[in-house]
Amino acid sequence: MINVAELPAWAALVTSLLVLLGAGFTIVGAIGLLRLKTFYERMHAPTLGATWGTGGILLGSIVFFSVLQSRPVLHEILIAAFVTVTTPVTLMLLARTALYRDRSEGSPDIPPPVSANGKAKAAAPD
């Protein structure tokens, strides 16, 4: 069992600040999810909150365990890498699926698809 009382004050301060920063980003993302109105707006805030929040908490964990064990503890970097890679990919897949669904249903709030030359495609006749 690790004795937390052995942690120096500077390491406890840095760890607590990083964990609070990560928790702050996460709560801002959660509040953004609740306050924003449309699906497309709601996707952005939790994604940033999850990525930056995880980063702050993992940096705090790295500092905490590296100081207590007197050696670099870096396996948290794998967690950060997986979160950083999977969160944006999930966001893109959800957005493309919702955009396809909304275009199929003929939603007026969705812009038309963009052609290869960067111009909006003409709407298909009804």
Beta partners for residue 120, in sequence order: 114
45 located within any domain: yes
87 located within any domain: yes
Check residue 17 and give its pLDDT.
Answer: 97
122 located within any domain: no
23 located within any domain: yes
Overall number of domains in the chain: 1
C-alpha to C-alpha distances, 72 to 26, 40, 52, 62, 66, nearest whole angstrom: 26, 40, 22, 8, 5
Q: What is the chain's mean pLDDT, rounded?
A: 85
The residue to which tokens 């990560």 are assigned? 22
Q: State mean pLDDT over 37-65.
A: 87
112 located within any domain: no
Instruction: Give the count of alpha carbons within 13 A of 69, CB side only.
Output: 11
What is the distance between the alpha carbons of residues 19 and 59, in angstroms, rounded to a whole number? 8
29 located within any domain: yes
What is the distance between the alpha carbons of residues 112 and 122, in angstroms, rounded to a whole number? 8
Check residue 51 and give its pLDDT.
Answer: 85
Check residue 15 and give its pLDDT.
Answer: 94
How confident is residue 16, by pLDDT bands cut at 50, 70 and 90?
A: very high
1 located within any domain: no
- Summarised one tens digit per residue, pLDDT across range 56-109 is 999 999 999 999 888 888 888 898 888 888 888 888 899 899 989 988 888 887
How confident is residue 4, by pLDDT bands cut at 50, 70 and 90?
A: confident
101 located within any domain: yes
Q: Name the residue range of residue 39's domain.
A: 14-105
How confident is residue 1, by pLDDT bands cut at 50, 70 and 90?
A: low
pLDDT at 23 over 60: yes
